[in-house]
Amino acid sequence: MTTGRAALPPAPGPAVHGPVTRTDFVRYQGASGDMNPVHHDEEYARAAGFPSPFSVGMFRAGLLASWATDWLGAHNVRRFRAYLGELDAAYGAVLATGGDAATRLRALVLASLHVSHARPHATEVYQLNRGYFASHDRFASVRGAAARIFRTWQETIADGVAERAFRRDVGARVFHRFLRDAVFLSVRWFRPSEGYGVEELATDTAEIFLEGFGADE
């Protein structure tokens, strides 16, 4: 019986990396933005109950992704380029309409959810492997789109603080990370229904964040 799917090429043998050092941990942390000291500070790791610093989980996932890319071909990362390209274009359309920071935030949440739920697999794989894509020169176009997307969020949050619409006591990076995970990782659990779709989820998500991060002034 055939499934209609193209046959996969034979899998390569086991990949060997190393010796992996703490320098590798730190380099990955810098690329991914996760600077938890448990991954590089000896005293901090021991105080937290670990025998020594250990790698970020997604560092190991990045090594696995490298193995899979060698197996399946770099051309298969085009789906991530398409995903980020659509997101980049959607954000550009939001910015072209103008409006205050709160209005833009609502529109960006809606645009993000539409794109991510149209491409759920690309969304989840990219979000879990941002550090890997950021650390390899062959993904320069992916990094460029990701940088523009990140800058859109940062500028919107900064404008909201300047307009006194968003709280000043919460860092823009923290605000963005909460939003990022709430929006993009919703592909793991959200299933649109007849009575509650992406638009409703976007409205509720934006309102939750505007209520929690809105300024009291």
Average confidence score pLDDT of the chain? 83
Domain count within the chain: 2
How is residue 8 annotated by DSSP? Answer: P
pLDDT of residue 83: 83
Q: What is the largest CA-CA distance in the chain?
A: 67
Tokens describing residue 145: 């789109």
CA geometry: angle 57, 185, 45, nearest 5 deg: 25
Q: Which residues pair with 166 in a beta bridge?
A: 214
pLDDT of residue 180: 92
Q: Are residues 61 and 118 in the same domain?
A: no
Q: Among 74-78, 93-97, 135-139, which is the least confidently predicted range? A: 74-78
Q: Quote the pTM value.
A: 0.64
Q: Are residues 110 and 162 in the same domain?
A: yes
pLDDT at residue 5 above 50? no
Count of positions (residues) in the chain: 217
Tokens describing residue 92: 């550009």
Q: Are residues 117 and 169 in the same domain?
A: yes
d(CA 50, CA 47): 7
Average pLDDT over every residue of 130-139: 73
Domain residues for the domain of 45 are: 22-72
SS3 214: strand
Tokens describing residue 133: 């894509």
pLDDT at residue 131 above 70? yes
Q: Are residues 134 and 66 in the same domain?
A: no
How is residue 119 annotated by DSSP? Answer: S
Which helix (H) or strand (E) segment holds residue 167: the answer is none
Write the pLDDT tens digit of every residue in 51-88.
Answer: 998 887 767 767 776 776 676 666 554 566 788 889 99
d(CA 25, CA 16): 17
Q: What's 157's domain CATH number?
A: 1.10.357.10
Greatest mean pLDDT range, 117-126, 137-146, 194-203: 194-203
Tokens describing residue 89: 């274009």
pLDDT at residue 141 above 80? no
pLDDT at residue 2 above 50? no
Q: Are residues 158 and 116 in the same domain?
A: yes
Q: Are residues 110 and 186 in the same domain?
A: yes
Write the pLDDT tens digit of every residue in 144-176.
Answer: 888 899 999 999 999 999 999 999 998 888 999
